[in-house]
Each structure stands twice: as C-alpha cells, then as structure tokens.
Chains A and B, each alone.
Chain A
C-alpha cells in the first residue's frame, strides 16, 4: 500500500534521529508548562519560539503548517468563540449579542484556553510528524511499557490518518457512481450522510481483523520479545530527558510555591 497511514513524514533531520522517548518527554514538558499557568503568555511563547522552530528543525514545517491551518485552527477558533461568549463571569462588557456578553475577562480566558490547546496539540503533531509509529511502539515496549498499552497509544495516533484514507476511498466509490460530492454546500452535506455508516462500520471490521492479525503473530505470548527495529539512544539524550524532568519538577515546585 502506498497510502499514508500515519502522520509520519520520512525525512532526514535532527529530530527524526532522536529517540522517541526523548521527543515524548520534550512534548510532555511543553504541555505541562503550558497548562501550569505560571504565566499568561507562556503557551503562546512556547508555540511561537519553541514549537515553530522545532518544525523547521525537523524539516516538516510545511506539513506542520498545513495540518495546523486545516485541522487545528478551526477547532481552536471554535473553542475561542465558545469561551468568549459563554464564560460565566466578567464585568467589563465589550459587546453583547442577544443575552450573551463578551467581556474582557471572558476574552482573556478564551485566549488562554485556545493557546493552551493549540500548544498541546501542536507539540504532539511535531512528535507524530517526525516519529514512525513503529519506532514509538517498539521503543515503549522495550522500556517495559506493556504491549497492550503501547498498542492502544499507537493505534489511537493512527486513527485520524486512517479515517482520512478510508473516507477518501469511499468518496471515490460514491463519485464513481454519480454522487456529486463537490461544489455547493448542499452537495457536500448530502455526501457526508452515506459516508458515516461505512466509515464507522468499516473501521470496526478493521479493528477486529487487526486484532486477529496481531494475535496470529503471538502478540499476547508471555515471553520477552525482541525487536527488529534498532532504536538508538545516546547518553546525551538520556541527560536531556533528565533535564526535561528537572524542568517539570521545578515548574511544578514554582507553581506550588507561588500559590
């Protein structure tokens, strides 16, 4: 098969060569920092000055911006609007529509939430774009994470791209039998309805087939398994991970101390 079944982009970059666990630790550090609430602008700063440069470092900037604009911005934008209108307290009303007030407080809260979500998803996106799912899975298993758990993690990460591919083939099949799925809004909505059933049903069938397939290859055998993929892990990376963990601990400490 040539269709892409994961976000992974095969390039040769510094980030691609890092151990998956190092990248995972880095991502967790960034996410925790964004959510701790040490500073209002921290998530924005992390996004602008760490995540975007990382996308260039990983040579996946184009894919990163694509996914951000197409996938993330609509969701984050929606969140922002909802929060701005429906945040309960706030006194300095900027404007109101019907019974909903947009206040300075709700706006600033909406911005904080949106920037946190953006930073969180964007950091995972960097991880996914530069890490082959199998590498992530075998590295986690090798470090003693249970096979079941790492299977759940990696297959969850692959759901969106797999759904995309599947939706693509179904749309092709429908168009080939005369269903107009492009053009005006009405056509598009009409096309989505017959899409949902086969998409969900097909995915369930696939899950079962995959479960049988991995079981046929002794997935639950109670033995220590070896891995075909060699995943390098350098001392420098181990040190880097400890530094990240240190940063997390200090940040949490600061947070508690400042309260």
Chain B
C-alpha cells in the first residue's frame, strides 16, 4: 500500500510550525528509517500516517484513502503506529488483552484474533508475560508489548516511533529481527530512530529531517555519505562509515560485511 504525501504543512496550536512542506512517497514493502534531531518533526510526520494529526495544509493518501476522509479507527486497518512512549499506548490489564484489543476492534473473529495474538507474542518474546499487567513490566518489556499490540493488527503499513531508545543490545537485536520478519511478509516498515547504526544496518532507505523539512532522502549509502548535511540536523554517520572514510575507502560502508569487503579490497590494492 502506497503512502503519498503532498506539500504537507502542520502547525500545532500556539503557532508552533512543526512541518513545512513535506513531499514524500513510500512504496509498498519499503523499509524506511527516519532520522533527525529532537524536535525536527519526525513524530508529527508519522502521526499523520494514521490520521492522529490532520494536515493544516496539503494532503496525505494511504493507498486510495485521503486520511482526512477516514477516522483514525478506520485507518488502523491500514497503518499500525507504535507510540514513542509505551506508557501512552497501553491501557489493558494484562498483556493478552492488550494484544487482542486491536484485532477485535478490526472485527476479526476469535480464531483469527487468537492467531494474531499468538504470532505477536512469539515475535516479541512475550511468552512468559501473557497474564502480567503491562504496568508491572520493565520499560523494555512495555515497549515490546506496545510493539506486539500493533503487530497483532496485521496492517500492511507499520510505523515504529523510536523502538530502540533505552533498549540494550539484545533487545535491539530482537527489534531488528521483528523488522526483518515484517519486511519479509511484505509489509511497509517505517521506523524513527536516533540510532543511526541501527538504521544503516537494517533499513534500505533513510529520510533525514531538519526543522520540519526533509533534508535528505535516499538509499542508506547515499544518505550516510552526506556527513556535512547530516551534521546540520545533528546526526553522525555510523561509526563504521566514519572509520571507513578515515581509512580512505573508495566506497561508503554501512555494516560489518560491507566494511570488511571494502577493507579487503583496499588491502589488495596496496
């Protein structure tokens, strides 16, 4: 399902201009990361995808729907949005009903709901916490519950708002694996993250935002090569990319494999 954004402007009450003229199109099945400094408008942008915010000016279409013609609840069948702060998202008294809340609202029958919930539990590793109250879980696990509750919607587009913040290496692994799995199921995956290494290793396309505008938009390698541009929105290229540059590699590298490849190549040349 295609996302098409045309000249999107958004102003919060009190004349706070958060987005000024966003043009963007995301194809079905893409894996996109959005980066940019605090307050650059990332959350504001993705809240438009499921209609939580409506454009002050401009349009946004999800497939053949203009978001302003459809309720947030209707859009939930197309776009699942994982909130930046899980505490704002969880309101059920145990993990299982939290995960089942979405599918039931979308009108799936009990069998299908059960199936979706089990799938989400397996992906997020929540097996031991089915009957736990989300409030009794650690923030790491609450984040997993929030992810699971959206995965269970089975929507063609999934948006994660900073899934890796505050997570240890192991949980970041888990999130990367979830992203891979959803991608392989053909879903469009959009993730906001301040962890550029995570973005460079796991995504295909990066959008860098700055002060309510799109600064850079392209393939991972194109974007992380723009060190100076990225610096204006306070994003450093990934560590390996910088190291590769210091070592004088000819091409930009984004992960261990490409780093090692380039390293061997430069050795053979010398």
Chain A contacts with B in 190-226, Cβ cutoff 8 A: 194-195, 197-198, 201, 205
Chain A contacts with B in 94-110, Cβ cutoff 8 A: none
Q: Which residues of A contact B83 (CB under 8 A)?
A: 173, 176
Chain B residue nearest in CB terms to A10: B14
Interface string of B110-149 (1 = CB under 8 A from A): 0000000000000000000000000100000000000001
Q: Whole-angstrom distance between the alpha carbons of A172 and B43 in the complex?
A: 14
Chain B residue nearest in CB terms to A181: B73
Q: Whole-angstrom distance between the alpha carbons of A201 and B106 in the complex?
A: 26
Let me know if B149 and A177 touch, CB within 8 A. yes
Q: A170-B91, A174-B91, A197-B91 are in contact. Are A2 and B12 (CB under 8 A)?
A: yes
B42 to chain A, nearest CB (A): 15
Is A13 in the interface zone, CB < 8 Å from B?
no
Q: A2-B12, A2-B16, A201-B135 are in contact. Are A173 and B89 (CB under 8 A)?
A: yes
Let me know if A178 and B73 touch, CB within 8 A. yes
**A175, A182, A183 pick with most chain B CB within 10 angstroms:** A175
Is A189 in the interface zone, CB < 8 Å from B?
no
Q: Whole-angstrom distance between the alpha carbons of A179 and B75 in the complex?
A: 11
Q: Which residues of A contact B88 (CB under 8 A)?
A: 169-170, 172-173
Interface string of B34-76 (1 = CB under 8 A from A): 0000000000000000101000000000000000000111101
Let me know if B91 and A176 touch, CB within 8 A. no
Q: Which residues of B contact A178 (CB under 8 A)?
A: 73, 76-77, 102, 105-106, 153
Let me know if B12 and A176 touch, CB within 8 A. no
**B73, B90, B135 pick with most chain A CB within 10 angstroms:** B73
Residues of B within 8 A of A (CB): 12, 14, 16, 50, 52, 71-74, 76-77, 80-81, 83, 88-93, 101-102, 105-106, 135, 149-150, 153
27 contacts between A and B (CB under 8 A): A169-B88, A170-B91, A172-B52, A172-B72, A175-B71, A175-B72, A175-B73, A176-B52, A176-B72, A176-B76, A176-B81, A176-B83, A177-B105, A177-B149, A178-B73, A178-B105, A178-B106, A179-B73, A180-B74, A180-B105, A182-B71, A183-B71, A195-B91, A197-B91, A198-B90, A201-B135, A205-B135
8 new A-B contacts at CB < 8 Å, known A194-B91, A198-B90 = A170-B88, A174-B91, A176-B83, A177-B102, A177-B105, A179-B73, A181-B73, A197-B93
Q: What 5 A-B pairs have minimum CB-CB distances, sorted nearest first?
A: A178-B105, A198-B91, A175-B72, A177-B102, A178-B76
Residues of A within 8 A of B (CB): 2, 169-170, 172-183, 194-195, 197-198, 201, 205
